[in-house]
Structure 1
Amino acid sequence: MARLPRLTLPGYPHHIIQRGNNRQAIFSTAADYQTLLDLLAENASKFDVAVHAYVLMSNHFHLLATPHTLEGLPQMMQAVGRRYVRYFNDSQHRSGTLWEGRYKSTLIQTERYLLACMVYIDLNPVRAGLVAQARDYPWSSHGHYTGLQTDKLITPHPLIWELGNTPFAREAAYAELVQNGLTSVQQSALTDATLRGWALGDPDFVADLQKRTQRRVSQISAGRPVSVQKIVQNEPLAHVK
C-alpha cells in the first residue's frame, strides 16, 4: 500500500522528528551540532518557517515549527538534510546515507499541545539520562525560554506571551512547566502521533482540520479522534489553560 504524504499545512505548529540511519550518531563534535543549528536558522528564514523549539540528540533531533507556506517545511528540511549530510560526510571521511528515510511530522493543536510539545522536547535529554535537568543540556531551546541564552534560531509562538506579563514571569512559568513534566500518556501521544503522521488534537480540531486537506488526518473517519487522542483529550498540560 502506498504511503500517505506528510500532513503539512501552513499556519499550524508541527512536531518533527529526524533520526539517523539505524540509529547511528549524526553528530561527532560540538561543531557538528552548531553546524546543524546554523543550517536550520538559515533555511528557516529562507523558507519562512518559524522554529519554536528544538533538541539535538546524538542520533536524532526534534523540532517544533510553524510553516507559513505549504511547501516551506519540506523545503527547509530537504535543504538542511542535504547540506548537513555533505558536511558530515566530508568531515568524517565517510559516504552514503545519514538519515533514516524521511523525517516524521504531524500537526498539533496549539492550545492543547504546543506547550506540552515544548516540554516534551526539552525533557528528551533528561529521559535519555544525559543530564539531570533540562537546563544542563546545551543543545536545546530550553535556555532561550528560561533566560539562560538568546537563540537566533528561535521564534517564540504567541502562546508563550500568555505565560506572564514580563520576560521574568514568562521564564519562571515556563521553567515550572518543564519541572512539572508530562504524564506517560502525554509523552506517548506526542511520540505516536508524530511517528504515525496523524494529527494530534481534540475531536473538533481533527474534524476541522480534515476539511482543510484531502489527506486523511486520522486513522478513522474525520470528526472522530484517533486512539491516542481519545486517551489524552482530557489531559492538557498541567497549569496551562
Structure 2
Amino acid sequence: MSKRTGDRRSSWKRVGQRDVQSVNRTYRRTGGLFEGRFRSAVIEADTYLLACQRDIELNPVRAAMVEAPGDFPWSSYRANALGACDPVVTPHPLYRDLGGSDEARLAVYRWLFTDELDIELLQRLRDGTNGGFVIGRPQFERQIAALVGRRTWKASPGRPPKETEVGAQSESAF
C-alpha cells in the first residue's frame, strides 16, 4: 500500500469518527453508528410476512422512540397503512391481497396493528432472525435445509446424544 493510499484511508477514518461522535452527541447515544451485525432470516411469506412487517414497524414503538409506528421517519407503515407515497416501498402480493381497493387494503393493514403480536410468535421471529434460521412451517424449513445443505431451524442446546449400536454395546461390556 502506498503512503498516499494510507493517508487517504486514515483521513476517511477521521471523518467517519468525527461524524459518529457528532451523531452520538446530538442523539445522546454511544458506540458505532451501525452497532451490531446485520441479521436476517428466510421466511415463508404466506405464513409470516405480515407478522414480520408488523414486528419491524412496531420496533420503534417498543423502543419508546415514537408513540405510533407511523411516527417513525423510516417506517413503511405510512405507505402500507396510511397510503402515503413512498418510492422505496414495493407492495408484496400478500399485502395487495388484503383488500380489493386501496381504501380496504389500508384499513385491513391498520386493523392488523390493533392487537399486539403473540409473544410466542414474536419469540419465534426473534430466534429465527438472531440465529439465522428459517421461519416457516416444518415442511418449508426442511425444503430450505435441503437446498442449503444444513439445518435451518433452532435445535435443543448441547451436543446430540451418541447413537450406539447393540453390537458395540455388548463388546464394550467385556
1:196 to 131, 135, 138: 131
How much has 1:182 moved relative to structure 2?
Answer: 0.6
Q: CA 1:132/1:99 → structure 2, altered by over 3 Å: closer, same or farther?
A: closer
For residue 125 of structure 1, what is the amino acid of its counterpart? P
Residue in 2 aligned with 1:135? Answer: 70
Residue in 1 aligned with 2:50? Answer: 115
Paired residues of 2:43 and 2:49 also in contact (CA < 8 A): yes
Structure-1 separation of matches of 2:20 and 2:131 = 34
Q: Once superposed, which parts of structure 1, at least 4 consecutive aligned residues long, lie more than 6 Å away?
A: none
Q: CA 1:142/1:201 → structure 2, altered by over 3 Å: closer, same or farther?
A: same
Residue in 1 aligned with 2:140? Answer: 205
Structure-2 separation of matches of 1:91 and 1:149 = 35
Identity level (%): 35
Q: In structure 2, list runs of 5 or more residues that go unmatched.
A: 1-11, 22-30, 158-174
How much has 1:104 moved relative to structure 2?
Answer: 1.2
Q: CA 1:163/1:204 → structure 2, altered by over 3 Å: closer, same or farther?
A: same
Higher relative contact order (CA 8 A, sep 6+): 1
Alignment of 1:180 onto 2:115: yes
Paired residues of 2:128 and 2:153 also in contact (CA < 8 A): no
Residue in 2 aligned with 1:76? Answer: none
Paired residues of 1:108 and 1:114 also in contact (CA < 8 A): yes
Deviations 1:68-88 (A, max 9, x none): xxxxxxxxxxxxxxxxx98x8
For residue 133 of structure 1, what is the amino acid of its counterpart? A
Q: CA 1:108/1:141 → structure 2, altered by over 3 Å: closer, same or farther?
A: same
Residue in 1 aligned with 2:26? Answer: none
1:179 partner SS: coil
1:89 to 16, 23, 31: 16
- CA RMSD, aligned part only? 2.7
Alignment of 1:169 onto 2:104: yes
How much has 1:90 moved relative to structure 2?
Answer: 7.1
Report the structure, 1 or 2, having the larger helix content.
2
Structure-2 separation of matches of 1:143 and 1:185 = 27
Query: Please, what TM-score do these two structures have when normalized by structure 1?
Result: 0.50
How much has 1:218 moved relative to structure 2?
Answer: 2.0
Deviations 1:105-144 (A, max 9, x none): 1101111110000011111121112233222322211000
Q: CA 1:161/1:93 → structure 2, altered by over 3 Å: closer, same or farther?
A: closer
Q: How does 1:222-233 map to 2 (within 5 A)?
A: none
Deviations 1:137-164 (A, max 9, x none): 2221100012342111111111111100
Structure-2 separation of matches of 1:101 and 1:108 = 22
